[in-house]
Amino acid sequence: MTRPRTLLALNWKMNKTPTEAKAWARDLAGEFTRGAAELAVMAPAISLPGLKETLPGGVDVGGQDVSPHESGAYTGEISAGMLRDVNATYVVVGHSERREYHGETDVLVAAKARQAQAHNLTPIVCVGEGLDVRERGEHVTHTLAQLRGSLEGVGENVVVAYEPVWAIGTGKTATAEDAEELAAAIREALRELYGEVAESLRVLYGGSVKPDNIASICAQPNVNGALVGGASLKVADVIGMNDALR
């Protein structure tokens, strides 16, 4: 089975107003040339309307979270159907910041991923260990347990992002070998869950990815792209990462 196309997924987190988001998209459109990687922007939901149309052709957009519910009395929630209506094709679920600051469990993350798929959104399911777990040498078992819980009842139209918490926003990048160790273990778990199609599913790495380290990380056999926070905010860095993946 062929290696999936590399995905460069940008997670803006809680940055940029809708006005700033549009200006960023226009700036990108002025400089971007399509590379080997697929590019997708995970923007705050409020910035999604019109964003796809402003971005260069072929660049996808997605949400950063989604409700596990279909619709109704869930104040403050954004549904999968609403994300689809503003052209989202992806949605991040189970980011470590949501797990940590909003108490999200694997059970909830799986429910969100299933709801996303019910509306033809591809969930980007995030997993990864904290520093204490890594120091105990339990990062593989921990991350795989989280993965299995977060994929309960979830279909194969899924992207998995391995984001070790100690590497997020810290400037401490996992080595390419660390990323591959987990990506290979995740691939094996995906094979057990989905069979042969696992070879064509994308496993991303996230945590302090930048223009100067993205190529070596994404060259690993089981790493099929990156989920990028800080370096996703500046157009120049995104062009740099896109060019590094040619």
Ligand X SMILES: O=C(CO)COP(=O)(O)O
**Which residues form the catalytic set?**
95, 163
- 96 a known binding residue? no
State the Cα angle at 51 between 46 and 52, rounded to 5°: 130
Instruction: Give CB contacts under 8 A, 24+ apart, made by 56-60.
Output: 56/28, 56/29, 56/32, 58/34, 59/28, 59/32, 60/89, 60/90
* Angle at 183 (CA atoms; ends 182, 186), nearest 5 degrees: 85
How far apart are the C-alpha atoms of 124 and 225, rounded to whole Å?
Answer: 12
The count of residues interacting with ligand X (CB under 6 A) is 14
Give residue number: closest CB to ligand X: 229
Q: Is 236 exposed, middle or buried (0-12, 13-18, 19+ CB in 10 A)?
A: exposed
- Which member of 206, 214, 223, 237 binds ligand X (CB under 6 A)? 206
| 75-104 exposure pattern, b = at least 16 Cβ within 10 A, e = fewer | eeebbbbbbbebbbebbbbbbbbbbeeeeb
Q: Rounded CA gap, 175 and 196, in Å? A: 28
Q: Is the separation of the CB atoms in 235 and 31 below 8 Å? A: yes
**Of 28-36, 134-142, 221-229, 234-242: span binding ligand X (CB under 6 A):** 221-229
- The reply to whether 169 sits in an annotated binding site is yes
Q: Which is nearer to ligand X, 12 or 194 (CB)?
A: 12
Query: Per the annotation, does 12 bind a ligand?
Result: yes
**Partners of 159 in the beta sheet?**
124, 202
Q: Which of residues 38-67 bind ligand X (CB under 6 A)?
A: none
Q: Rule CB under 6 A: is residue 94 a binding residue for ligand X? A: no
Q: Please say which residue, 62 or 194, places its beta carbon nearer to ligand X.
A: 62
143 binds ligand X (CB under 6 A): no
Is 230 annotated in a binding site? The answer is yes
Residue whose CB is less far from ligand X, 62 or 230: 230
From candidates 21, 39, 91, 168, binder to ligand X by CB under 6 A:
168
Q: Which of 6, 11, 117, 213 binds ligand X (CB under 6 A)?
A: 11
Structure tokens that stand for 57 in this block: 């052709």
115 binds ligand X (CB under 6 A): no
Q: Which of 183, 227, 235, 241 forms a contact with ligand X (CB under 6 A)?
A: 227
- The CA distance from 182 to 188, in Å, is 10
* Position 230 contacts ligand X (CB under 6 A): yes
d(CA 8, CA 151): 22
**From the list 60, 129, 163, 180, which residue makes contact with ligand X (rule: CB under 6 A)?**
163
Tell me if 150 contacts ligand X by CB under 6 A.
no
Q: Applying CB under 6 A, does 104 fall inside the site for ligand X?
A: no
Task: Candidates 125, 151, 185, 228: give the one binding ligand X (CB under 6 A).
Answer: 228
Known binding-site positions for substrate: 11-13, 169, 208, 229-230
Residue ranges binding ligand X (CB under 6 A): 11, 95, 163, 168-169, 206-209, 227-231
